[in-house]
Amino acid sequence: MVFARKVWHVLVAVKDGLALLFLLLFFLALFAALSSRPSPGAVREGALLLKLDGAVVEEPKLIDPISRLMARQAPTGEYRARDIVTALRAAARDDRIKAVVLDLARFTGGGQVHMQEIGQALDVVRAANKPVLTFATLYADDALLLAAHASEVWVDPMGGAFITGPGGKHLFYGRLLERLKVDAHVFRVGTYKSAVEPYLRNDMSSASRDAGGALYGALWDVWKADVSKARPKANIALATTDPAAWLNASGGDAPQAALTAGLVDRIGDEVSFGSRVAELVGADRRNKLPGAFAHTGLKTWLAANPAKQPGKPIGVITIAGEIVDGDAGPGIAGGERIAKLLDEAQEKGLAALVVRVDSPGGSVYASEQIRAAINRYKAKSIPIVVSMANMAASGGYWVSTPASRIFAEPATITGSIGVFAVVPSFERALGEWGVTTDGVKTTPLSGQPDVVGGLSPTIEAMLQGNVEHSYAKFLSLVGESRGKSPAEVDAMAQGRVWDGGTARQKGLADQFGGLDEALADAARSAGLKAGEWHPLYLGANVDPYASLLARLMGDDDSASANLVRDIAGLVAAQQNDVIAQALAGAERLVGRQGAQAYCLECPAAPMPARAAADSLGLLARIENLIARF
């Protein structure tokens, strides 16, 4: 028995030793993966391949390791717009790059301003006498805006190209809330603050309809002008005036209809497209599969072209996504996180600060946190310039008010200067089930706001007064920033949204231009010449664990089952977006905390997971929503 015990102890020791060895090897492999970076030496002569399997955004979200590991399929990507622009400009100058290829087969969209910025960079490539080729199964508005700047546009024989134009319908819950006997107590200031209308009405008010019509009409005109200039042969009217007749004229053959309208140049599958690219840049000698061509990917190309950092730093703080309380982000503008980034950067000796905004707004409190942090730079006489991307509305405009100069684009959505709060109560619904409330109060505010028994007139008056105070502060901030009286600001505020062109006319923006123009203006204000400064993007460091997970879960085509590939898929995707909109609207009703400065007309951010929605996630959201009720 003694011998047997000794043998057993030895076996256990060996087992424990092997377990420790495997753990050590695992963590060594993990460290190696985290430390690895795309090799600049991997650049190959051929094409720059931009395979946009996901959405183009201002600021990508970090991958949550736990949720991604539990997901049924690989995450769809998010690509920073300025990274793509940087890559294209470098490709135009480098003799190793013979052509640029945009693979849009799994592209899920991007903001109109971002598409225009990338389109301008594609023009730089073509001006260097380098062809630009695009391929997609289905081209929608976003992809078409990019493809218009290409020299060859290919579409799959089973796909097509369709123009829907901006705008669409919002969901209204007035009748539903009445049937459920739920009272939505709305406190707002602003004739056009339409973000609350879904809880009060069954349709749009005439004021909101007029404002929305003007906004979307302007965005549509900008889109058509951009496409027509880049691709004069595109017959937009043919594809949009009577789309059904246009498609039927080609016997229902969507690719042929797109070819007839000049939206695409050639019809062919991925292999045919790849063979065409190989004719221009050479075949891929390491990959013998049909349609393979010599190329360098986006990450490798960016690694081979690091940004130069001469002179003094000009800080760039990004405010992207909904503005929320707390430290959320990147990809969501957590007020505490952004304020902390700004305060920490004061030690970096910034010569100037550029605030890059791509947000529909959100929490008034978080917006004020960010504005106050920016204002601390202004108090030190550091030049502050704002660059508006796709959206800088409501809270997005609130955080812009410290700037001495505001740059916007014609397709920027801004304004929406208004404040609201929504508090639901359920006294009528619970009363149907025999549930009532009673108790003892020591002051008029005891137990208020009471979402079960109903809001008292006292708390309602106080909530409305608080919203009006926030609105007055908003007017004051805008007036001080724009050199206008509160009355002048109020006349163009009232919650109304404006396109960038109208905003410029009304003095809400100073001039057209993107981030480059804003940086150059900030440098001039700081007394710096070209070559004496460089941009420093605050908080731009990527979490290595997130990048590891992205590589491990990498190019998994399992997500392709839900991709939008034809007109039927486009309709289905829009239906999914409606469901998501309904959930978001309901969550906004029961989940808001505090006053809000939010823009309903601003389009939803491009969904990187539109093609990869998880039904379990949808059910979880519904379950969580019911729990809140």
The set of catalytic residues is 193, 394
458 — phi, psi (to 5°)? Answer: -65, -50
> What residues have CB less than 8 Å from 299, skipping those under 6 apart?
38
Tokens of 202: 């069954």
Tokens of 94: 């480098």
Centre a 10 Å sphere on the Cβ of residue 307 and count the other Cβ atoms it contains.
11
**In Å, how far are 24, 275, 374, 556 from 75, measured between CA atoms?**
28, 29, 34, 9
**In Å, how far are 152, 299, 629 from 48, measured between CA atoms?**
15, 11, 51
Please choose, from the candidates 24, 60, 215, the residue with its C-alpha nearest in 3D space to the C-alpha of residue 550: 60
Enumerate long-range contacts of 215-218, CB under 8 Å, 24 or more apart: 215/413, 215/497, 215/498, 215/499, 215/601, 216/165, 216/166, 216/167, 218/410, 218/499, 218/501, 218/502
Q: For residue 418, which amino acid is it?
A: G
* C-alpha count within 13 angstroms, C-beta hemisphere, residue 508: 32
Is the Cβ–Cβ distance between 355 and 410 less than 8 Å? no
Please choose, from the candidates 618, 629, 614, the residue with its C-alpha nearest in 3D space to the C-alpha of residue 71: 614
Is the Cβ–Cβ distance between 215 and 497 less than 8 Å? yes
DSSP 358: E
Please choose, from the candidates 200, 55, 159, the residue with its C-alpha nearest in 3D space to the C-alpha of residue 114: 55
223 — phi, psi (to 5°)? Answer: -60, -50
Is the Cβ–Cβ distance between 490 and 475 less than 8 Å? yes
Is the Cβ–Cβ distance between 83 and 59 less than 8 Å? no
Please choose, from the candidates 360, 358, 315, 362, the residue with its C-alpha nearest in 3D space to the C-alpha of residue 335: 362
Residue 593 to residue 582: CA distance in whole angstroms: 19
Centre a 10 Å sphere on the Cβ of residue 317 and count the other Cβ atoms it contains.
23
Collapsing DSSP to helix, strand or coil, 316 comes out as strand
Residue 364 to residue 481: CA distance in whole angstroms: 18
Is the Cβ–Cβ distance between 393 and 425 less than 8 Å? no
Residue 259 to residue 485: CA distance in whole angstroms: 54
Please choose, from the candidates 485, 522, 316, the residue with its C-alpha nearest in 3D space to the C-alpha of residue 406: 522
Tokens of 532: 């004496």
Collapsing DSSP to helix, strand or coil, 297 comes out as strand
Residue 617 to residue 629: CA distance in whole angstroms: 19
| Chain centre distance of CA 528 | 32
Is the Cβ–Cβ distance between 98 and 280 less than 8 Å? yes
Residue 228 to residue 250: CA distance in whole angstroms: 23
Place of tokens 């969550």: 587
DSSP 602: S
